[in-house]
Structure 1
Amino acid sequence: MEAEAVVEARALEKSYGETVALSGASLAVEAGEVFALIGPNGAGKTTLVRALTGTTAPDSGQARIMGDSPTAVDRSRLGVLPQDFSPPDRLSAHELLAYYAGLYDDARNPNDVLADVGLADTGETWYEDLSGGQQRRVCVGATLVNDPDVLFLDEPTTGIDPAGRRTVWRLIENLAASGTTVVLTTHDMAEAERLADRVGLLAGGSVIARGTPEALVRDHGGASRLTIETAADPDAFADLEYPVSRPERGRGRTPDSAVVVRDIDPAAIATVVDYLEARNFEYTGLTWSEPNLEDVYLELADQTELERTDSVDDAADHSDLAQAGETA
């Protein structure tokens, strides 16, 4: 029997004037699952989180949390971290958490929460005097004072340094292990790969792909790649048994002069080296890489953007033709 979804969106639609933010967005998140929403800016991630948490009313479709509508659910069971969250500056970190804890009948000790987010030694520091990353961690802590059953985090680690980011990651992992259901948005593919049981890619207001990070990489990530830093042209590799091309734009950091050998196993790298040396091709480096979630993101997001652009161009062409007919 399929587990009942703790968080669910069914065909959510939301527009602001002529701007479509959500276009039939659907997802289901099970108890204790970490579900990461990824997608380009303007894809609708924040609007979807707002619709799921009841802070934005969708134009159509249905959102449910623990079987209730977002506006009817017991708020003490939820933790919500908006993308933009600005608590009072002239309170200490401890005072801020104590304030939010005071909103609940059975809240956690603010000192314990500060320790959870790695700020045990900064409790008496005013919020305005904390670094940007420390402020964000305090904000994460504010969502945990009520020990929520369901946690929504909209880009939780934005502005946090690598060490602090790993503290937050471990915290989310521990929360999920204890049964908390987590929905988060992120632009950090490493964050999504590490934390998420499943990932949903939102583009154009719709969830166009979902699955475990491993399944998404397998289905959409493409082939493994060996990047060769060389001035040689891809045509010079015509008789190599593997496909060779220039690097695709936007696919990570690549040298100005390089070629990419695709679909190659690490054991075959020596064959390519022998090939280079037999032909006296000069090269300054070799880098082998497997596809990852960033490749999935770029492939599917680029494809959706291309389809959207083609659709806009087609509409413009039809409009031009219609205007030409009217003036003929």
Structure 2
Amino acid sequence: MSAVVEATDLEKRYGETVALSGASLAVDAGEVFGLIGPNGAGKTTLVRALTGTTEPDSGAARVLGEAPTAIDRDRLGVLPQAFSPPDRLSARELLAYYAGLYDDPRDPDAVLADVGLADDGDTWYEDLSGGQQRRVCVGSALVNDPDVLFLDEPTTGIDPAGRRTVWRLIEDLAAGGTTVLLTTHDMAEAERLADRVGLLTDGSLVAQGTPDALVAEHGGSSRLTVETAADLEAFDDLEHPVERVERGRRGTPDGAVVVREIEPAEIAAVVDSLEARDIEYTGLSWAEPDLEDVYLALADRTELERTDRVGGSDGGDESADDLAQAGETA
């Protein structure tokens, strides 16, 4: 089966700034491909190269077997990261406007229902909440019933219930054969929606695979977090690696103790050990590795290096994506 979306060794520079550095991927028909990575990694530039709004310096991009600029636009749906439709149109009028750009569009009211705004069609865009506005924007990418859908951070600013509405919609579209490439900073979103995930850092895809495969390879071990001020020596009798968390992440308090490579059945032994030593603790939590652990393992080092550069700027690739978003090089 030939890929529906293909990028081969894409390179893109904006002056001295490298946006893409040999990025390659392939997405099959009906597949949802999630693109993750730090701010400024080149995700928006890659999406623009694949949709024909940015011309790469070298390499090749193909969608539906053609160059992005040669595709029948009725077959393509695109939601940019930054999208500001006219404020003084209602949600229904906006979707009707975008529907009018295509030969065989969907009914705007049906699209409103799909994005959970069936009761808000007459509300001016400027009077909608930020999350509702974003859902209208998602709808604008669907009015032509595209075969291939590009979504650049589709659920930014949408509340949890609305986010799940959009997730179900994307799942239904993929089940119906639509090919979807989406970018996101929400690891739960990527883990739920994506058949495969690609991690982009510094303009290159450094890892690709199913969420489960990436977690198995890069996610590390299960862990028990113990919120305690006790010294690490208090855990010396445990047959598990133990470390102090100096910089808390994902809700883990600074200074907590993490016991690695531990299964749920072994937690009682840790508790018994703490109580036998009269060690006080304020909380226990056990977790298996997930896609966020993969992201942190592969991208966090790059992010730290970027912020530690001279002048404290992480601007290299972020500036590149800002230029791409502004359409500096079409």
TM-score, length-normalised on structure 2?
0.91
Kindly provide the amino acid, as one letter, of the partner of residue 265 in structure 1: E
Q: Contact 1:157 / 1:168 at 8 angstroms: preserved in 2? A: yes
Relative to 1, partners in 2 of residues 1:266 and 1:207: Cα closer, same or farther, differing over 3 Å?
same
Q: Contact 1:217 / 1:292 at 8 angstroms: preserved in 2? A: yes
User: What CA distance in whole angstroms lies between the structure 2 residues aligned with 1:142 and 1:185?
Assistant: 17
Alignment partner, residue 231 of structure 2: 233
Q: Which has the higher contact order (CA 8 A, sep 6+)?
A: 2
Q: Contact 2:247 / 2:255 at 8 angstroms: preserved in 1? A: no
1:101 aligns with 2:99: yes
1:51 aligns with 2:49: yes
The structural deviation recorded for 1:306 is 6.2
1:138 aligns with 2:164: no
The structural deviation recorded for 1:257 is 4.0
User: How far does the alpha carbon of each residue in 1:255-297 deviate from its partner, in whole angstroms, 9 at most, with x for none?
Assistant: 2442110000111001111111111111121100111111100
User: What CA distance in whole angstroms lies between the structure 2 residues aligned with 1:250 and 1:43?
Assistant: 24
Structure 1's consecutive aligned runs of 4 or more residues displaced over 3 angstroms after TM superposition are 303-312
User: What CA distance in whole angstroms lies between the structure 2 residues aligned with 1:257 and 1:100?
Assistant: 53
Kindly provide the amino acid, as one letter, of the partner of residue 143 in structure 2: V
The structural deviation recorded for 1:304 is 3.6
Alignment partner, residue 85 of structure 1: 83
User: What CA distance in whole angstroms lies between the structure 2 residues aligned with 1:308 and 1:170?
Assistant: 36
Number of aligned residue pairs: 310
1:19 aligns with 2:13: no
Partner of 1:121: helix, strand, or coil?
A: coil
Alignment partner, residue 274 of structure 2: 276
Q: Contact 2:34 / 2:197 at 8 angstroms: preserved in 1? A: yes
Kindly provide the amino acid, as one letter, of the partner of residue 99 in structure 1: Y
Q: Contact 1:24 / 1:206 at 8 angstroms: preserved in 2? A: yes
> What RMSD over aligned residues (CA atoms) do the two structures have, in Å?
1.5
User: What CA distance in whole angstroms lies between the structure 1 residues aligned with 2:189 and 2:96?
Assistant: 29
Partner of 1:120: helix, strand, or coil?
A: coil
The structural deviation recorded for 1:254 is 1.5
Q: Contact 1:33 / 1:182 at 8 angstroms: preserved in 2? A: yes
Q: Contact 1:8 / 1:65 at 8 angstroms: preserved in 2? A: yes
Alignment partner, residue 71 of structure 2: 73
Relative to 1, partners in 2 of residues 1:127 and 1:310: Cα closer, same or farther, differing over 3 Å?
closer
> Equivalent of 2:297, from 296, 299, 314?
299
User: What CA distance in whole angstroms lies between the structure 2 residues aligned with 1:250 and 1:41?
Assistant: 20
Alignment partner, residue 155 of structure 1: 153
User: How far does the alpha carbon of each residue in 1:153-172 deviate from its partner, in whole angstroms, 9 at most, with x for none?
Assistant: 00000011111101000000
Kindly provide the amino acid, as one letter, of the partner of residue 136 in structure 1: R
Percent of paired sites with the same residue? 81
User: What CA distance in whole angstroms lies between the structure 1 residues aligned with 2:81 and 2:215?
Assistant: 27
Q: Contact 1:251 / 1:295 at 8 angstroms: preserved in 2? A: no
User: What CA distance in whole angstroms lies between the structure 1 residues aligned with 2:140 and 2:127?
Assistant: 17
Gaps of 5+ in 2: 311-330
User: What CA distance in whole angstroms lies between the structure 1 residues aligned with 2:303 and 2:279?
Assistant: 38
